[in-house]
Amino acid sequence: MDLSQICLNKSTCNKFGNIRKVTSKPTAMTNEVIQSSHEDGTFDYDLAVIGGGSGGLACAKEAVNQGAKVAVLDFVTASPQGTKWGLGGTCVNVGCIPKKLMHQAALLGESIHEAVAYGWQVPDVNKIKIDWAALTESVQNHIKSVNWVTRVDLRDKKIEYINGLGEFKDPHTIVATLKNGSKKELTAKNIVIAVGGRPHYPDIPGAKEYCISSDDIFSLGYPPGKTLVVGAGYIGLECAGFLNSLGYSATVLVRSVPLRGFDQQMAAAVTSEMEQKGVTFHHRTVPLSVEKLDNGQLKARWLNTETQQQSEDVFDTVLLATGRYALTKALNLEAAGVTCLSENGKIVAATEQTNVAHIYAVGDVLEGRPELTPVAIHAGRLLARRVFAGAPHHMDYENVATTIFTPLEYGCVGLSEEAATERYGADNIEVYHAYYKPTEFFIPQRNIRNCYLKAVALRAAPQRILGLHFVGPVAGEIIQGFAAAVKCGITMEQLMSTVGIHPTVAEEFTRLNITKRSGQDPNPASCCS
């Protein structure tokens, strides 16, 4: 039986969310939750998800597990350079997955050169170079396999997949524009907006005509060559890092500070390492224009906002990483009565519920939430359990761990030193820190000056840890385990009483004992000190 047909049963109505008539039409932004009803009280689906990325798919699959009838709408509009991709959203196609594979390729290149010092006989190591076409083919083959598995999974779970661009007709009706231009209309009792975002293009001459973004780099049909990266957020630094390590000269324009929102001491360590590896940084600069030359190269001009000096250089590729915007404009949210939008078009919803009771949002489209795939997945699953199973649990957006996959990785969880100082006051926090020597950096002798970690804690005993930060090898793998400890309220007393695994870089957290306040030297005397 169609679940929508048994809604007159009171217990079922409570399970799937009560619906009442609209009492008034919203005319301005409001946080008031509005209840609404379809005319005859029946719907094609219990849940429709607009957006086939990680958060939307997780919500859809969990809803099916709870007995709901579900449809997923997903459509990828081509980038200005014509790049498109399949089902799965940003992470799978043009985000986390291809980025990590490119990062791994870069690390392998470094390892080949270091292998000689360990005794491996590598003939003509100086002639080793990356085959860009082979790399991108391997990456894209993996992505396509994930696209296929995702579609099969939806079919197996009997989730209807609609390859169409969805928009609201009314609070319960969605119109999908299909690839051939035809329209498909459907109704749903509950709707989840999970459309994510796309790269922002600065309003300068030549930006959309000649530049690429992270939407394009992982399937670029030619070696990028000498590359200018505009922007120093995590996407810009990660791309500049792996391009440089793959042998393509990289230059980064930094508008204000690198890795805005992250601990700035750690950000400085990341950029310092990148500079020592050959990446060029131009600080306090904004792009002015990009011009295509007769030989196909690109002339980029930029302005130093402090000195007002203009500079220019010629590149083979210009990659824009100047932020992302939410894809809400195309949704016709006015027709649904959704008004809880921020100035930049993101949805403001404290518990994923918008001002319209049956319309929700998860993932990058939400204002003030971490733009991270695991966050969207977890929030989507919890939302489905609340809506369709009456579960009480909400997403906890505090203490979410993340990692920047730059050549020397940066992993963190919790508050930065700046944020902790602002929240609790400088006199009420204690910062433990240390430089360390990874054993794997001894042969050959690699630069260790940026291998650094710190714990930000409350000063009062037992010194609950507010944030952990680590720059070094496999930072993502290390910070994941400590993230669980921070989530459980670990203190410095507990951390310092933990016995580390030697010789690992992760054990350095268990050896923290020097505070910044003490003024002592945080450099180790030896690997075992």
Query: Encoding tokens for residue 495?
Result: 């951390």
Angle CA(431)–CA(409)–CA(254) in degrees, nearest 5? 90
State how beta strands 250-254 and 280-283 pair: parallel
Cβ atoms 207, 321 nearer than 8 A? no
Does residue 171 have a cis peptide bond before it, meaning omega lies within 30 degrees of 0?
no
**The amino acid at 100:** K
Catalytic residue (one of 113, 393, 394, 502)? 502
Q: Which residue do the tokens 């001002």 mark?
A: 355
Q: Which residue do the tokens 């870089």 mark?
A: 505
Cβ atoms 440, 470 nearer than 8 A? no
**Distance in angstroms (rounded) separating the CA atoms of residues 86 and 179:** 13
Query: Encoding tokens for residue 190?
Result: 């509950």
CA distances in angstroms from 230 to 196, 213, 249, 304, 321, listed in the order given: 22, 10, 14, 13, 6
**Distance in angstroms (rounded) separating the CA atoms of residues 42 and 2:** 10
Cβ atoms 87, 94 nearer than 8 A? no
Give the HSE-up count for residue 203: Cα atoms under 13 Å, Cβ half-sphere.
Answer: 0
Q: Which among 498, 205, 170, 175 has a CA at the least distance from the CA of 336?
A: 170
What DSSP string runs through 447-471?
--TT-EEEEEEESSTT-BEEEEEEE
Phi-psi region of 352 (alpha: psi -120 to 50; beta: other; left: phi over 0): left
CA distances in angstroms from 107 to 408, 453, 477, listed in the order given: 10, 21, 15
What is the SS3 assignment for 188-238?
Answer: EEEEEECCCEEECCCCCCCHHHHCEECCCHHHCCCCCCCEEEECCCHHHHH
Task: For residue 318, report the phi and psi dihedrals to the nearest 5 degrees.
Answer: -120, 120
* Contacts with 307 (C-beta within 8 Å, 6 or more apart), sequence order: none
What DSSP string runs through 321-365?
-S-EEES-GGG-HHHHT---B-TTS-B--TTSB-SBTTEEE-GGG
* Known catalytic residue at 502: yes
Q: Which among 153, 179, 152 has a CA at the least distance from the CA of 164?
A: 179
167: β partners: 175
Which residues are part of the catalytic machinery?
502
